[in-house]
Amino acid sequence: LAAAVATAFCGMAQAAPLVVGFSQIGSESGWRSAETKVSKLEAEKRGITLKIADAQQKQENQIKAIRSFIAQGVDAIFIAPVVATGWAPVLTEAKEAKIPVFLLDRTIEVSDPSLYTAAVASDSVHEGKVAGDWLVKEEGGKPCNVVELQGTVGASVALNRKKGFADALAAAPNIKIVRSQSGDFTRSKGKEVMESFIKAEQNGKNICAVYAHNDDMAIGAIQAIKEAGLKPGSQIKVVSIDGVPDIYKAMLNGESNASVELTPNMAGPAFDALIAMKKDGTQPPKFIQTKSTLVLPDAAQKQYDMKKDMGY
């Protein structure tokens, strides 16, 4: 008792560890699983209790999870929003409960920006632009028909990666997007949609490149290209986004040409911003931007080893 009293009087009482609820989308891609893993590690490093709810790619499950986190009175809520719209009601509930909300890796459309504290994400329009600029340079004025595998319908990253790529192609009339459809960010859907593109485009002979909004769909597409008797990486070039180990393996096999790297560590910067807020009220910037770097086959081995070391 004496010790407790002394501690209280000296103002040295240990603060309870922070509790964060994370509404994760699911495990649709290798990148997503890595993000979940890295988030747990980053929480552990800082002594934060992280509660993760897997939404199985459904917004309604995310909304339920957020309501449950509010009821539990967590210190903050992290959300990787599956789609960009439809968040205002539940975020208003979080705001009324005075729980700060951080968005991870995707952004949302709300008319009141005070409904969330900050977003940690890359500039996904820029990612699409980097992928498009690479293809424009690679083709050097030659005619090229591109097929596009879009991410989840309504996801900010799918909309933005589409826009950024189209922006890059605006300067290159030789390159045309001949087909574009969602593969929902999954390997199996990417393969299925690519198979239909190949059938529709003279058994793939009319396709010069595939642009996939993530590596998993690109890996599915590579499989479809091979099954059609064509060579991915040469007869059909492959460019995508994420930087997962399997795409680097594909690069090493000559089956993928370029990927824009997206860090799976979105939670780390969000935890740091939260800790600073709790310590002295420091308000984080609204958009905490992570880097997007183009990786080509010459750097694939190094990137592969690095990602494996990160625990991918």
Contact flag: residue 28 with ligand AHR (CB under 6 A): yes
- Piece of the chain touching ligand AHR by CB under 6 A; list 26-34, 218-226, 228-236, 276-284: 26-34
Q: Which uninterrupted H or E stretch holds 59?
A: helix 59-72
* Best CA proximity match to 87, nearest among 111, 105, 69: 111
Instruction: Please say which residue, 32 or 189, places its beta carbon nearer to ligand AHR.
Output: 32
Count of residues in contact with ligand AHR, rule CB under 6 A? 13
Task: For residue 244, give the nearest of 311, 304, 161 by alpha carbon.
Answer: 304
| Among the residue ranges 27-35, 37-45, 48-56, 193-201, the one whose residues contact ligand AHR (CB under 6 A) | 27-35
The total number of residues shown for the chain amounts to: 312
State the Cα angle at 291 between 285 and 293, rounded to 5°. 165
> Whole-angstrom Cα distance, residue 204 to residue 1?
78
Assess 187 for contact with ligand AHR (CB under 6 A): no
Per-residue buried b or exposed e for 88-105, using 16+ beta carbons within 10 Å of the residue's own CB: eebbeebbeeebbbbbbb
Instruction: Give 18's DSSP letter.
Output: P
Cα 78 off chain centre by: 14
**Any contact of residue 185 with ligand AHR (CB under 6 A)?**
yes
CB of 152 vs ligand AHR, minimal distance in Å: 7
Q: How far is the CB of 217 from ligand AHR (least distance, A)?
A: 8
Tokens of 146: 């591109």
Alpha helices (H) along the chain? 2-9, 30-45, 59-72, 88-96, 124-139, 156-169, 187-200, 215-227, 245-252, 267-280, 300-309
Cβ distance to ligand AHR smaller for residue 75 or 87: 87
32 binds ligand AHR per the rule CB under 6 A: yes
241 forms part of the interface with ligand AHR (CB under 6 A): yes
Q: Compute the least distance from the CB of residue 234 to ligand AHR, in Å.
A: 25
Residue closer to ligand AHR, measured from CB, 18 or 120 = 120
Instruction: Candidates 106, 129, 179, 189: give the one binding ligand AHR (CB under 6 A).
Output: 106
- Residue 78 interacts with ligand AHR (CB under 6 A)? no
- From the CB of 280, what's the least distance to ligand AHR, in Å? 31
* Interface contacts to ligand AHR, rule CB under 6 A: 28-29, 31-32, 105-106, 157, 185, 214, 216, 241-242, 262
